[in-house]
Amino acid sequence: MTNHKYSLTGYHKEENEELWLWDDLPELDMEIGYKVGSLLHYEHSPFQEISIVETKAFGRMLVLDGTPQVTAKDGFIYNEMITHIAMAAHPKPQKVAMIGGGDCGPAREALKYESVQQIDVVEIDPRVIEVCRTWMTKETGQEREGLIRTVLKDGYKWIQEQKNMYDVLLVDRSDPYGPAVSLYKPQFYQYVYDSLTDDGIAVFQSGSPYYSGILKKTSSSLRKLFPIVHTYICSIPSFPGGIWSFTIASKKWDPLEADLNGLQWQDAKYINPEIFQASFVLPQYIKSALEEK
Amino acid sequence: MTNHKYSLTGYHKEENEELWLWDDLPELDMEIGYKVGSLLHYEHSPFQEISIVETKAFGRMLVLDGTPQVTAKDGFIYNEMITHIAMAAHPKPQKVAMIGGGDCGPAREALKYESVQQIDVVEIDPRVIEVCRTWMTKETGQEREGLIRTVLKDGYKWIQEQKNMYDVLLVDRSDPYGPAVSLYKPQFYQYVYDSLTDDGIAVFQSGSPYYSGILKKTSSSLRKLFPIVHTYICSIPSFPGGIWSFTIASKKWDPLEADLNGLQWQDAKYINPEIFQASFVLPQYIKSALEEK
């Protein structure tokens, strides 16, 4: 028998004395299974099922409602790519916020920019923050980490109270199910616009450009509001299909004209100045999908 | 009950009146399952298990020993990316060969270059060619398709007989198990070198740069022989982890200096001149792995 103390539901199954995590993708008629070396944490919070599993392919994974969110081995890709493009595109980001991202990975990346004075991490589920602090990204106790403030609120309600406030806002939303669903509403994009300073920049996790229509919807919603909108992509092995998109929307600074001497990539494992630029180059099928009426 | 006439082995399993294909990745402790809408073909050839399955995520898939090789929906990515970089890098490719690629997808891409006079497709398993012709890529009967010649031989034996023969050689090898294992031997790279003309170019499928060490081994073997060796990458959703590598080795023409006016991307769905260049830009973790001693 596998050795853990939890009473498990759907996504974690014991078979032949092994424990497996099953990421169900019903819209694709696919299932991705990970053999769980050990189940480090398991709970149902008021918002979702939270688990931490140890896997061979990705090391430790934070899993919400059966979907891997961030992993020890490839989490650097998502964290670097959601953060650095906007941070380097803005010449002097001082006030930064992120909606979601309770694991604080993107916040740690943003801290690398010396101009930063405040980072607000807005997370609806306090248990995600606590579980991640225990199992994923321990606080290092460094002085500048004091600039990271956690705000335990529903991001959709919180953003409506922010006006002309942030230089950079990262929308680290999970898939449009469960607690994140309001972060895909059309009004949300207007609230984000209003929360930014006059030269502010926002970045949105905008889904798989191969499997989903989220990218196109995000991009066209943002084009109605912002003068500068671009799609950029990266490859995240633990995400279904690998290829993943972000949408960046800016009031003044065009990331394609950024001074890349400011990019803080010294200890990065994915981004570098060439990747910064190459990530805006889209395969023809993605360009065509974005251009379709 | 699912409706088919075959007696199935390991990779295809019937559960709860559904048929599923299971791609086992034991080195990662992972399994990827595809619900099979219909099983169009199933056989054991003298070399491998060959099946054609209809799936929701990828449409029709050619599956060899349980591993999806090429799919109707995203096969264009692999076919374009293994072919066009070398074809555009060479100013006048006339004689072209490919080892593997019995589905003839890359051969169709190579045909788009007007200078081409002959395309030899070397495939060990005649059943792969026949099954693909029936289910995957039907011949169109166009005149230029007559330039494609199939050679039913073991690629490793065949290449030893070719000297100073080909302008472009594509090594569309499957994973280093079963019939493809000899295509990863150190001597194989020397045979490839010898098979090329004085300004010839070869491209090798070189595995997942995230999961496997094949890329590094391929690259260092080729650097001992060729003056110009580069890694390039693309994102293939049906391959584990998505991100995938090719290694290009050239005797004279550097793809980074290619005249991209020659790139035949008019009806391409992945490649375009910007992607051609961006595909050589590597994430920092891949660059570091390639530079390690």
Binned at pLDDT 50, 70 and 90, residue B72 comes out as very high
Where does residue A169 rank: exposed (0-12), middle (13-18), buried (19+ CB within 10 A)?
buried
Region B62-73: what's the mean pLDDT?
A: 92
Region A184-212: what's the mean pLDDT?
A: 97
List, for residues A136-169, the tens digit of each pLDDT value: 877 667 778 899 999 999 999 999 999 999 999 9
pLDDT at B175 over 90: no
Region B118-132: what's the mean pLDDT?
A: 93
Region B134-140: what's the mean pLDDT?
A: 79
Q: Which of B37, B34, B68, B35 is nearest to B51 (CA)?
A: B68
Residue A23 three-state SS: strand
Element (H, E) at B271: none
CB-nearest partner of A284 from B31, B55, B270 = B270
What is the rounded distance in angstroms from the CA atom of residue B10 to the CA atom of residue B12? 6
Any residues with CB less than 8 A from the CB of B56 and at least 6 apart, and which?
A: A28, A29, A30, B35, B37
pLDDT at B201 over 60: yes
Which residues are bridge partners to A18 per DSSP? A15
pLDDT at B163 over 50: yes
Residues of B annotated catalytic, as ranges: 172
Which residues in B lie closer than 8 A to residue A240 (C-beta atoms)? 237
pLDDT at A2 over 70: no
List, for residues A251-292, the tens digit of each pLDDT value: 999 999 999 999 999 999 999 999 999 999 999 999 999 998
Distance from CA of A63 to the nearest CA of B (A): 16
Distance from CA of A41 to the nearest CA of B (A): 20
In angstroms, the Cα distances linking A170 to A62, A67, A106, B207 are 20, 21, 9, 33
Residue A241 to residue B243, Cβ atoms within 8 A: no
**DSSP secondary structure of B133-193:** HHHT------GGGGGEEEE-S-HHHHHTT--S-EEEEEEE---SSGGGGGGGSHHHHHHHH
Which of A105-114, A128-137, A240-249, B250-259 is predicted with the least confidence, judged by mean pLDDT? A128-137
- CB count, 10 Å around CB of A117? 11
Residues of A annotated catalytic, as ranges: 172
Cβ-Cβ pairs closer than 8 A, A with B, add up to: 134
Domains of chain B: 12-71 (2.30.140.10), 75-291 (3.40.50.150)
Structure confidence at residue B139 (pLDDT): 67
Structure confidence at residue A17 (pLDDT): 86
List, for residues A10-64, the tens digit of each pLDDT value: 777 888 889 999 999 999 999 999 999 999 999 999 988 999 999 999 999 999 9
Structure confidence at residue A43 (pLDDT): 94
What is the rounded distance in angstroms from the CA atom of residue B235 to the CA atom of residue B197? 31
- CB count, 10 Å around CB of A14? 13
